[in-house]
Amino acid sequence: MGSRTAKIRIAVLAAVLATAVAVPALTDKASAGTSAQTSSASQIVADLGAGWNLGNQLEANSNGYPSETAWGNPTVTQALIDKVQAAGFKSIRIPVSYLKNIGAGPNYAINSTWLNRVQQVVNYAYYRGMHVMINLHGDGYKSVTGSWLICDASDQTTIKAKYAKVWQQIAYRFQNYDQRLILESMNEEFDGQYGNPTQPCYSNINAYNQLFVDTVRKTGGNNSSRWLLVPGWNTNIDYTAGNYGFKLPTDQYRSSSIPSTEQRIMISVHYYAPWDFAGEESGNITQWGRNATNPAKRSTWGQEDYLDAQLKLMYDKFGSHGYPVVVGEYGSIDKTSYDGSNNRYRADFARAVTATAKKYGAATVYWDNGANGRYGFGLFNRSSNTITQQGIIDAIKTGVATAK
């Protein structure tokens, strides 16, 4: 998701060191604990298990400077991540913005304090044995102050040079981490208009993905064989799997130790359909699925059959060819203030997304923005480190465990 408002409201169709804990040095320890050199698409998806987003934290910003408390959440702690893991989540996606913490060209140096903090939060999960995904999140939104990864901007030569330098620094920082660390090229990159993809904007998105893969691979170490995650247009399923211009990046610089039959490229999509149930801030549509009791409160589209067709489309296009699909965000907002039964349908939705993804060999990562109550996505209270939506968490775990 994008800016502060978009992060809480999710305007989509279809983030100062605050503790005295030192950042562990990049030593061989970063590869210790497991020899998680997972290879096959099915194995990495199984390893990811139930996934959770640390949303509205490391991508939050104040006047273009990343600040993890700027959007109302407390500082991320080890205790929070431990609670998430104890609740049953095996993987965590950590959206990250860099924005004005990137210096001037030609080096485009990332502010070291910020990169240290990113690494520290990664370590909270990584050293507990979780899989961790990190990306370039808010830098591609026109609505965010300090954004620069704009696919329809005029000076693409400068943007691509900056993009390569930024990813080179991130990749070197995490070079020794094992395959439980996954790098994601960017977030919901598009031109800002909710219509058919445009050119040359989509071509530039493809170019960013290719530059990301090449840059990360060339840094060597475990990056030469690491799983890399790339999105299509606005992480939209139709615009990624359909004939709208998405191009899979080649992987010519990867380690020769990877068998030719294994891809090591993953495809990222997001799922918030139907929008009137999942994200629209009103009390009009509060129920979802075949168990809905009030037809007037249930959307006319986006039910189980649509969900199945969408994830089958991704499987047919990518999964069946060895490219794992990651539903990097999904979820629905709290509308219990309008309908006391809403959480039941939110749980049904989460269970259906995870179970259908399991059916088609895809991984899922629930979007939690840290907000509880009306219109929030929160599953946890990040101040007290307590669970607020046990029913939805249980539904997620049930869906992930569902047999094909």
Catalytic: which of 59, 188, 189, 280? Answer: 188
Residue 329's contacts (CB-CB under 8 Å, 6 or more residues apart) are 1, 53, 93, 235, 270, 271, 272, 365, 366, 367
Structure tokens at 167: 């990813």
For residues 377 and 383, is the Cβ–Cβ distance under 8 A?
no
Kindly list the distances between the CA atom of residue 327 and the CA atoms of 48, 154, 244, 393, in Å, as whole numbers in the listed order: 11, 31, 19, 16
For residues 247 and 218, is the Cβ–Cβ distance under 8 A?
no
CA gap 325, 365 in Å, rounded: 11
H helices of 187-303, in order, are 201-218, 237-241, 275-278
DSSP state of 223: G
Catalytic: which of 59, 184, 189, 329? Answer: 329
Q: Is the C-alpha dihedral spanning 152, 156, 158, 161 positive or negative?
A: positive
CA gap 22, 256 in Å, rounded: 36
Radius of gyration (C-alpha) of the chain in whole angstroms: 20
CA gap 330, 138 in Å, rounded: 18
Residue 382's contacts (CB-CB under 8 Å, 6 or more residues apart) are 73, 74, 76, 80, 370
For residues 269 and 231, is the Cβ–Cβ distance under 8 A?
yes
* Residue of 81, 120, 153, 112 whose CA lies nearest to 368: 81
Structure tokens at 84: 């998430």
Catalytic annotation present for 188: yes
The residue type of 20 is A
Q: Is the C-alpha dihedral spanning 30, 34, 39, 45 positive or negative?
A: negative
DSSP state of 186: -
* Residue of 180, 1, 19, 224 whose CA lies nearest to 97: 1
Active site residues: 188, 329
